[in-house]
Amino acid sequence: MMSEEKKSENKIEKAEKRKEEKKDEIEEERLTIEDIAPAFPLIYRIAESGVESIYIQKCNKIWVEVKRENLLEFCSFLKENGFDHFSCILGVDRGEYFEVIYHIWSYIDRRMLSVRVKVPKDDPEVDSVVSIWRAADWHERETYDMFGIIFRGHPDLRRILLPDDFEGFPLRKDFKLEERSWL
Amino acid sequence: MSERVLLNLGPQHPSTHGVLRLVVELEGERVVNVTPVIGYLHRGFEKIAENRRYIQITPLTDKLDYVSSMANNMAYVKAVEELLGLEVPERAEYIRVIVLELQRIASHLLALGSIGNDLGMPFTLMMYTFRERETILDLFESLSGARLGYNYITIGGVMDDLPLGFTDFTLSFLRELRQKIEEYEDLVYDNEIFVKRTEGIGVLSPKDAINLGATGPVLRGSGVRRDIRKEDPYSIYHYFDWRIVTGKRGDCLSRISVWINEMKMSADIVEQAIENIPPGLFRAKVSRVVRPPEGEVYSRIESPRGELGFHIIGDGSTHPYRLKIRSPAFCNLSILPHLAKGVFIADLIAILGTLDPVFGEVDR
């Protein structure tokens, strides 16, 4: 029995080593703006429109970080340039701050642009994008429901999945899971 | 000017496809405003997933959209594989495509059967469509041992190889299905009442469909030729010869026609896959403890209902740091208030039926 356990441990170690090697390979292959610019010239204008950082994961998956103040302006710029399908919003609790990620797909260019916005925990407010994509309506309500992030300018910001009298925001990391008392 | 009446439909109501509550404002028989109230089936899936290991999450995904579990398994597993950078053997990808397309047929059969109930012709359509759906469930039972909630597609491949006689039985079933689909077409298009109740009802223009975030048959019913299997290809869909099915007018009948034609297209894909399936491994070697590196991935597939996406954030541990599900039924249901303005209350139920929500997925 012991030897088998050791074997499996060895295997795991080997697998991890292999993974690390793979990781190095991926990092070497990281794409730059120049690589995708011939097929997607809009990337230069995106880079100039006040974004904080760009990370190109694949040739059709681009991650962008935007300041909270510039979000609405940046989103309307995207809408004008063919990013018409609003795929989803998600909130993330990163410990010191929240992050809101918008996934937007362009049906014309066939590219996904994911926009990150950092939101401080003591002032969890961000502009609503419902005026740009009406699809964002329920997604923003859900993010409010789960994280307590307030979307300024949303027409009807109420809880959606949880009951109205629910206390707390369950997907925050400081939300304690408690066993229900059945009696 | 007649008086306005507030009507509460649901959450326990036969024609709301599950636990949906609709607060309808009526003026006579016309709908002025609809407010869907959802969340009656909310199980906190995203929170549960944060406290589970990667492998333990796959059986949970079965319960999302319980009439198309295979698609949910695939969407989750694909996201994890992208995070791991794992290559899946070709045979496994072929088996996946076969079961995914069979699942699409089964799901559309259910939708087509229940639209008959919504239109007030109970059981005629449902009896026939459930006859064929039963065969697909039998096929899945021979694969995985379960009729609902298969947990068949796993990280690295599929659970088990195809059993003996599976391919032959599937091919003979598909031949039979083609004839049956002709019967359904007669039953739907030649039925004057059916056509009158669905033609020109709940029209969604292509521009609105895109802006409101519709995906799947709802989007294609409006004549927008978009499908993730073609646009952002995954698995091995680019090996096969098939085309995207669209409707013409964006009304209830064209959404129904998309279901019927997509079943034929899926049957084509399955036949091609079975013809060309190579020998080999059905599962890649994956360590027992899945520990993806730190990173983020958002991957999507075309489930029977539309775009099903999983966003997974890994922090290098055995549990995901955050898991988000973009469910197609949730987004398609959010269109209902826009579609249902000014229609008759009986048509509201027909429109809801063609949006085809499944509440395991809407509420998560």
Q: What is the DSSP annotation of B180-200?
A: HHHHHHHHHHT-HHHHHHHTT
Q: What is the DSSP annotation of A34-91?
A: HHHTTT-THHHHHHHSSEEEEEEEETTEEEEEE-GGGHHHHHHHHHHTT--EEEEEEE
A134:B212 CB<8 A: yes
Burial of B223 (0-12, 13-18, 19+ CB in 10 A): middle
> What is the rounded distance in angstroms from the CA atom of residue B282 to the CA atom of residue B324?
28
Angle at A149 between CA A147 and CA A152, to 5 degrees: 155
A146:B46 CB<8 A: yes
Residue A112 in contact with partner chain B when CB distance is under 8 A: yes
User: Chain B residue closest to A145 (CA)?
Assistant: B39
Strands A61-66 and A97-106: unpaired
Question: Residues of B with CB below 8 A from A93's CB?
Answer: 322
pLDDT at B177: 92
Alpha helices by DSSP H, chain B: 45-50, 54-61, 69-84, 90-118, 124-144, 166-189, 192-198, 206-211, 217-221, 228-231, 252-276, 328-333, 336-339, 345-355, 359-363
Whether A136 is covered by a domain: the verdict is no
Adjacent-strand bridge partners of B308: B301
User: Chain B residue closest to A110 (CA)?
Assistant: B231
Question: Residues of A with CB below 8 A from B38's CB?
Answer: 160-161
pLDDT at B174: 92
pLDDT per residue over B169-218, tens digit each? 999 999 999 999 998 888 888 888 888 888 888 888 888 888 898 898 99
How many CB pairs (< 8 A) connect A and B?
87
Strands A125-127 and A150-152: parallel
A85:B42 CB<8 A: no
Residue A86 in contact with partner chain B when CB distance is under 8 A: yes
Q: Are A70 and A84 in contact (CB under 8 A)?
A: no
Please say if the pLDDT value at position A32 is more than 90: no
Please say if the pLDDT value at position A177 is more than 90: no
Structural domains of chain B, ranges and CATH numbers in brackets: 53-327 (1.10.645.10)
How distant is the Cα of B210 from the closest Cα of chain A, in angstroms? 6
Q: Are B212 and B188 in contact (CB under 8 A)?
A: no
Q: Structural domain of residue A113, as residue ranges?
A: 30-123
Strands B153-154 and B157-158: antiparallel
Q: Which of residues 9-28 of A touch B (CB under 8 A)?
A: 11-12, 15-16, 19, 22-23, 26
Which helix (H) or strand (E) element contains residue A6?
A: helix A2-28
Whether A50 is covered by a domain: the verdict is yes
Whether A181 is covered by a domain: the verdict is no
- CATH for A52: 3.30.460.80
Residue A39 in contact with partner chain B when CB distance is under 8 A: no
- Taking each helix axis from N to C end, the angle separating B124-144 and B90-118, rounded to the nearest 10 degrees, works out to 160
User: Chain A residue closest to B324 (CA)?
Assistant: A90
Q: Are A149 and A134 in contact (CB under 8 A)?
A: no
Number of domains present in the structure of chain A = 1
User: Chain B residue closest to A25 (CA)?
Assistant: B85
Angle at A85 between CA B308 and CA B229, to 5 degrees: 45
Residue type at position B89: P
Whether A65 is covered by a domain: the verdict is yes
Please say if the pLDDT value at position A131 is more than 80: yes
Q: What is the dihedral of CA A59, B233, B225, B242, to 10 degrees?
A: 150
Q: Single out the residue of B335, B20, B362 nearest to residue A142, CA to CA.
A: B362
- Taking each helix axis from N to C end, the angle separating B345-355 and B90-118, rounded to the nearest 10 degrees, works out to 170
Q: Are A60 and A106 in contact (CB under 8 A)?
A: no
CA atoms within 13 A on the CB side of A133: 33
Whether A2 is covered by a domain: the verdict is no
pLDDT per residue over A72-89, tens digit each? 888 888 888 888 889 889
B169: Cα separation from own chain's centroid: 24
Interface predicted TM-score (ipTM) over 0.90: no
Whether pTM exceeds 0.90: no
A18 CB contacts (<8 Å, ≥6 apart)? none
pLDDT at A60: 82
pLDDT per residue over B41-81, tens digit each? 888 888 888 888 888 898 888 888 888 889 999 999 999 98
Whether A74 is covered by a domain: the verdict is yes
pLDDT at B12: 79
pLDDT at A74: 86
Angle at A79 between CA A76 and CA A82, to 5 degrees: 155
Whether A161 is covered by a domain: the verdict is no
> What is the rounded distance in angstroms from the CA atom of residue A84 to the CA atom of residue A108?
9
Question: Is A97 in a helix, a strand, or coil?
Answer: strand
pLDDT at B341: 85
Whether A12 is covered by a domain: the verdict is no
> What is the rounded distance in angstroms from the CA atom of residue B339 to the CA atom of residue B350?
11
Binning chain B into helix, strand and coil, the percentages to the nearest 5 are 50, 15, 35
Please provide residue B79's backbone torsions phi and psi, each rounded to the nearest 5 degrees: -65, -45
pLDDT at B122: 75
Please say if the pLDDT value at position A109 is more than 90: no
Nearest CB partner across the interface for A135, out of B39, B44, B211:
B211
Per-residue pLDDT of chain B (364 residues; tens, 9 = 90+): 568 888 888 787 756 677 888 888 988 888 888 998 888 888 888 888 888 888 889 888 888 888 888 999 999 999 998 888 888 898 999 999 999 999 999 999 998 888 888 887 777 888 888 888 999 999 999 988 888 888 899 888 888 888 888 899 999 999 999 999 998 888 888 888 888 888 888 888 888 888 898 898 999 988 888 888 888 888 888 888 888 888 888 888 999 999 999 999 999 999 999 999 888 888 888 888 888 888 888 989 999 988 999 999 988 888 899 899 998 989 898 898 988 888 888 888 888 888 888 888 888 8
